[in-house]
Chain A
């Protein structure tokens, strides 16, 4: 019980800090696509795959005092960063041990920008389609972001490399 909450706290603890709500959403989606056991359900939204359930869980975890949320004014936008609190650390003592490959996966994801993870997660959202259709779909739903061919190629390379972290 509360293991689904614990997995999110564990994820942030392993990342040490996640900067950006959007980034956290995309990191967990990508980890989920690598078959790590996150239960939150995703749908396609404005910035790619998005989970209302995850938003709720993170808000709950902040209210519970297990995660802390810092708000930074970046001029043209506001950024939220997440850390695990001391109480969150104690809560984690009740959690199951995470999969051995999760740390590597998180490190690779946390190194990337939010924009790039938005692209990667959107590509993965359409991974049931052939590659050309996948690219076409990304261009349709992300028409305002104007991803270049090089960025698209990087995204596919990144996904290929990430398979070493896959649980399946």
Chain B
């Protein structure tokens, strides 16, 4: 039997708190899971700094990736297989793309990317097509198979139905992370009837559609997403931790660039500071390494780096105040001036941050929009955009909610305000 169709002698199962069991029969999938690059995902947390608010949120990209694979496997094997619109030749490719869609995430994902202006999607592509263990496994399927997997994840694969299973407004990625993040954070939002959604998903030429009878299950999914964003993903305390994390990395980078002699040489960071990053540098870095350096940097002579690391590790986070940029943008300038005058570097201790989410968006002919909507398959076979049938979805469609905050070290300002009247002035300005 060729490698592409080779099955394991006995099915392997992973016990999983969200899907109960994750089933693996395909040898290729089993081999991919065993690669060094996939195992690395055990050392990248799914929710970054959220564990500092919801202490259960220590789950990893490894768990999430297996979950996305399992959902896609079930959609194909239990729902799509044998249907005229689905090409079973795409089964292994779709499952590999599901399993590997987050392969290029770095430590603390978005915070790390932002500081070093990186793109995890490009690293996913590079790991899949470069000299890596995962590439060697995929190449055994066919020489062009690693590139095909990269194309599905990069949304450039010609079969849009395959792409939509991994990336659309109702895809396996979102269905797994909403449930998994809800489970590990312990919140009661984020739950929806996935079993029902899987039963009513239908393959169409360019995307997955939902049988009309499943509309209410989809409504529940969209509302879950809305709740999770505002209750968990944009939690202001978690954002505060992320702000400090980013400032630590910024400070370390700035110190390196100005020739500071680190007590603990930041060897794994140097390629990122110098912007000459080999694939191996990227793959080698994980959250364990960052946390180890943060421990060491507590003892650095640089007061800012040391303070920020203490704050992050001991959860002495920044306080936040509401901020309305439209009317208060001059306040930022004034605060920056006062911080400097008071001897506190605003570059590291004063941060304006915005969070925003669009729970569901739709595209109608004639409008300039970029999101592919969710379609319901009506009883007569016609496809209808979800918000045209669902009053609940219509009510939140295209409605973006944005939240602006300023983060600052209230503890420092409070403790020093008696000695330095400027600290008190800053606090007054921040709280009014």
Contact = CB atoms under 8 A, between A and B. Distances in A.
Given A1-B350, A43-B121, A64 B326 contact: yes
Interface stretch (A10-18, A77-85, A100-108, A155-163): A77-85
B366 A41 contact: no
B315 interface: no
Given A2-B329, A80-B368, A60 B155 contact: no
Contact of B371 (A39, A41, A45, A77): A45
A141 interface: yes
Contact of B352 (A1, A25, A140): A1
A76 interface: yes
Nearest to A6: B329
Interface residues on B, range: 20 to 34
B400 A5 contact: no
Interface in B352-410: 352, 354, 356, 358, 363, 366-368, 370-372, 400, 402
Contacts of A153: none
Interface string B120-158: 010000000000000000000000000000000011111
Contacts of B372: 46
Given A44-B156, A50-B370, A60 B402 contact: yes
Given A1-B350, A64-B326, A21 B363 contact: no
Interface string B82-119: 00000000000000000000000000000000100001
Contacts of A52: 358
A20 B371 CA distance: 16
B370 A5 contact: no
A60 B190 CA distance: 27
A22 B372 CA distance: 15
Nearest to B147: A133
Contact of A22 (B158, B356, B368): B368
Interface residues of A, number: 36
B370 A47 contact: yes
Interface in A54-93: 55-56, 59-60, 63-66, 76-80, 91
A66 B351 CA distance: 21
Interface in B328-344: 329-330, 332-333, 336
A113 interface: no
A60 B350 contact: no
Nearest to B357: A56
A5 B332 CA distance: 13
A5 B325 contact: yes
Nearest to A64: B326
Given A137-B156, A140-B156, A1 B332 contact: yes
A65 B326 CA distance: 7
A45 B370 contact: yes
A35 B112 CA distance: 20
Contact of A141 (B156, B346, B370, B402): B156
B110 to A, nearest CB: 9
Interface in A9-43: 20-22, 25, 39, 41, 43
A167 B157 CA distance: 32
A52 B369 CA distance: 11
Contact of A60 (B154, B325, B367): B325
Contacts of B402: 56, 59-60, 63
Contacts of B121: 43
Contacts of B351: 1
Nearest to B402: A60
Nearest to B351: A1
Nearest to A94: B333
Contact of B325 (A44, A56, A64): A64
Contacts of B114: 39
Given A43-B121, A137-B156, A60 B368 contact: no
A94 B329 contact: yes
Contacts of B329: 2, 64, 91, 94
B106 to A, nearest CB: 14
Contacts of B400: 56, 59
A140 B371 CA distance: 18
Contact of A46 (B156, B352, B354, B370): B370
Interface string A125-144: 01000000000010011010
A72 B195 CA distance: 44
A20 B326 contact: no
A107 B422 CA distance: 46
B368 A20 contact: yes
A140 B330 CA distance: 48
A2 B352 contact: yes
Contacts of B158: 140, 143
A141 B159 CA distance: 10
Interface of A: 1-2, 5, 20-22, 25, 39, 41, 43-47, 50, 52, 55-56, 59-60, 63-66, 76-80, 91, 94, 126, 137, 140-141, 143
Which 8 pairs of residues, A with B, have the shortest CB-CB distance?
A64-B326, A45-B370, A21-B368, A77-B366, A50-B370, A56-B356, A44-B155, A22-B368
26 contacts: A1-B332, A1-B336, A2-B329, A2-B332, A41-B119, A43-B155, A44-B154, A44-B156, A45-B370, A46-B363, A52-B358, A56-B402, A59-B400, A59-B402, A60-B325, A60-B356, A64-B325, A76-B366, A77-B366, A77-B368, A78-B366, A78-B367, A94-B333, A141-B155, A141-B156, A143-B158
Given A2-B325, A21-B368, A60-B325, 4 more contacts: A1-B336, A56-B402, A60-B354, A140-B157
